[in-house]
A and B are shown apart, each in its own frame.
Chain A
Amino acid sequence: MSLIKIEKLTKQYGLLPVLRGVDLDVGAGEFVTLVGPNGAGKTTLLRIVATLLKPSGGEVSVGGWPLPSHAQKVRRYLGLVSHYTMLYGDMTAEENLLYYARLYQLDAAEKRVTAVLKTVGLAARQYDFVRTFSRGMLQRLTIARATLHEPDVLLLDEPYTGLDQAAVALLDELLREQHGRGRTILMITHDLLHGLTTCDRVAILHRGKIAADLSTAVTDGTQFMATYKQITQGGAHG
């Protein structure tokens, strides 16, 4: 069953078309990575699913609820991790998470916040200002923020940007843990091979359309790179 269903999705900014009829299904519990060159429309697509942008045409639904008409209902089930932390540097880690816990009306917010901070390995920095955190710590806290309300769908927008090797490994581990819990994950990334190793399926978005949709179970890195090059450099228009 599709948890995220996208059909003939279009989006244009003024006269500039960015998405030109995207079709993509993401099943419950699936981890799908979306790759593509700059300007392919990856972030636009993710922001539409995240209810932050309205589509120009086509249909998008999450959990069977169409967007944008049922955005308010869908928001409770979505979490977004981006290269922006979406955290307030002048508040402590605990204050940041408590703020979001209150907005999501979570029960036993303080206990929940303490537990989530422990999960991402930041319990010792609970009372420290976020502006004093390293990039890796910020990304862990960002995941804590995005998963605090136990969303069914986790949306990831270039989550590896600016991370060193140790932080990348830690993020991989956290994502595997989230996926293991049955969370549906839709990630966009520039890191082609990394995207391939962590997910169940990888889709290539090129010139506003899905040009390929491959299962990682039957596609190795070499095959994938060849397909990607053929699509993005060979002029395939999807």
Chain B
Amino acid sequence: MGNFWAAVTAVVRKDLTIERHTGQSISVMVVFALAVVVTFNLALGGNLDAARNVSVGLLWATILLAGTLGLNRSFAAEQENNSFDALLMTPVDRSAIFLGKVISVSLLMFVLEAILIVVFTAFFNKPFYLPTAVLILVLGTIGYVAAGVLVTSMAMQTRARAVLVPVLLLPLTLPVVLSAASAMASILDTAVFIWDEVGFSISLVILFDVLMLAVGAVTYQFVVED
């Protein structure tokens, strides 16, 4: 088990080291996300009520699209010099590689989301910083990234990776995104956490997370090996 976690840590550390040196994934995701927010604000013509009504949906749409960019960047580094082959040649459990990738991409997404929380709170005058809202954001992101790592790893072996990732990932993650957005909207509207109102949606998000992490851990070797 120690070997497993050492491998997970090695993969995470490597991805974060590359990001620390280049800042590419975060900068691309943040610029894209800010562009989306500003564009929507302009499109809504300063109508604050309309903007507030769609703000949670807009937040998740931004996260989904920026997330596909982050996933593509993370795997592009693996493909650049066929480094992924060297990783596959190490005596490391494939599920450790999967988990390492999920953790590293999730961490980058959390940084993006921290920035988005500040921006959305300022632009839409809604308490996106509420702990329960942040918790839903974190849970939804984990499920989305787990599905994303699986899909991107599959697509990596094809020439149409950039096209395939969003086409496969967005429909696959619809259940987790809809549930998370619905629970978040409910919490932000009332600014209180009522389990009866959001319990079902949050349970769906957790179920999706568990399912994606389990499916990924079990099937990753078949996804990345011949």
- A interface, CB within 8 angstroms of B: 50-54, 72-73, 75-76, 78, 80, 82, 84-91, 95, 99-100, 102-105, 129, 145
Of the listed stretches B9-17, B36-44, B116-124, name the one at the interface; the rest are far from the partner chain: B9-17
Question: Which residues in B have their C-beta under 8 angstroms from that of A80?
Answer: 85-86, 89
State A50–B88 Cα separation when bound (angstroms). 10
User: Are B85 and A88 touching (Cβ within 8 A)?
Assistant: no
User: Are B77 and A90 touching (Cβ within 8 A)?
Assistant: yes
User: Residue on A with the closest CB to B24?
Assistant: A90
State A76–B87 Cα separation when bound (angstroms). 12
User: Are A54 and B226 touching (Cβ within 8 A)?
Assistant: yes
User: Are A91 and B7 touching (Cβ within 8 A)?
Assistant: no
Q: B190 contacts the other chain (Cβ, under 8 Å)?
A: no
State A89–B86 Cα separation when bound (angstroms). 14
User: Residue on B with the closest CB to A130?
Assistant: B81
When A54-B225, A102-B9, A103-B7 are in contact, do A88 and B14 touch as well, CB less than 8 Å? yes
State A102–B17 Cα separation when bound (angstroms). 14
User: Are A89 and B80 touching (Cβ within 8 A)?
Assistant: yes
Residue pairs across A and B with Cβ atoms less than 8 A apart, 6 shown, are: A51-B89, A88-B14, A88-B80, A88-B81, A102-B13, A129-B21
Q: Specify which of B3, B6, B9, B88 is in contact with A52 (CB 8 Å cutoff).
A: B88
Q: Mark B72-92, 1 if CB is under 8 A from A, else 0.
A: 000001001111011111111
User: Are A91 and B85 touching (Cβ within 8 A)?
Assistant: no
User: Are B226 and A90 touching (Cβ within 8 A)?
Assistant: no
Q: Specify which of B21, B77, B81 is in contact with A84 (CB 8 Å cutoff).
A: B81
- The interface size of chain B toward A, counting residues with CB under 8 Å, comes to 27
State A67–B193 Cα separation when bound (angstroms). 55
When A50-B89, A86-B81, A105-B3 are in contact, do A99 and B10 touch as well, CB less than 8 Å? yes
User: Are A86 and B90 touching (Cβ within 8 A)?
Assistant: no
User: Are B14 and A84 touching (Cβ within 8 A)?
Assistant: no
Question: Which residues in A have their C-beta under 8 angstroms from that of B14?
Answer: 88, 91, 95, 99
Q: B18 contacts the other chain (Cβ, under 8 Å)?
A: yes
User: Residue on A with the closest CB to B82?
Assistant: A84
- B interface, CB within 8 angstroms of A: 3, 6-7, 9-10, 13-14, 17-18, 21-22, 77, 80-83, 85-93, 225-226
**Distance between B158 CB and nearest chain A CB, rounded to angstroms:** 14
State A129–B22 Cα separation when bound (angstroms). 11
Question: Which residues in B have their C-beta under 8 angstroms from that of A78?
Answer: 89
User: Are A104 and B90 touching (Cβ within 8 A)?
Assistant: yes
**Distance between A63 CB and nearest chain B CB, rounded to angstroms:** 13
Question: Which residues in A have their C-beta under 8 angstroms from that of B88?
Answer: 51-52
**Distance between B73 CB and nearest chain A CB, rounded to angstroms:** 11
Question: Which residues in B have their C-beta under 8 angstroms from that of A54?
Answer: 225-226
State A237–B86 Cα separation when bound (angstroms). 34
The interface centre, meaning the residue of B6, B7, B80 with most chain A CB atoms within 10 A of its CB, is: B80
State A84–B86 Cα separation when bound (angstroms). 10
Q: Specify which of B77, B81, B89 is in contact with A75 (CB 8 Å cutoff).
A: B89
State A87–B88 Cα separation when bound (angstroms). 13
User: Are A88 and B83 touching (Cβ within 8 A)?
Assistant: yes
Q: Specify which of A73, A75, A105 is in contact with B6 (CB 8 Å cutoff).
A: A105
User: Residue on B with the closest CB to A76?
Assistant: B91
Question: Which residues in B have their C-beta under 8 angstroms from that of A87?
Answer: 81, 83
User: Are B10 and A102 touching (Cβ within 8 A)?
Assistant: yes
User: Are B225 and A86 touching (Cβ within 8 A)?
Assistant: no
Question: Which residues in B have their C-beta under 8 angstroms from that of A82?
Answer: 82, 85
**Distance between A159 CB and nearest chain B CB, rounded to angstroms:** 14
State A105–B92 Cα separation when bound (angstroms). 10
User: Are B18 and A88 touching (Cβ within 8 A)?
Assistant: yes
Question: Which residues in B have their C-beta under 8 angstroms from that of A52?
Answer: 85, 88-89, 225-226
Question: Which residues in B have their C-beta under 8 angstroms from that of A76?
Answer: 91
Question: Which residues in B have their C-beta under 8 angstroms from that of A105?
Answer: 3, 6
When A75-B90, A100-B86 are in contact, do A91 and B21 touch as well, CB less than 8 Å? yes
State A87–B85 Cα separation when bound (angstroms). 10
Question: Which residues in B have their C-beta under 8 angstroms from that of A53?
Answer: 226
The interface centre, meaning the residue of B22, B89, B90, B225 with most chain A CB atoms within 10 A of its CB, is: B89
State A104–B87 Cα separation when bound (angstroms). 10
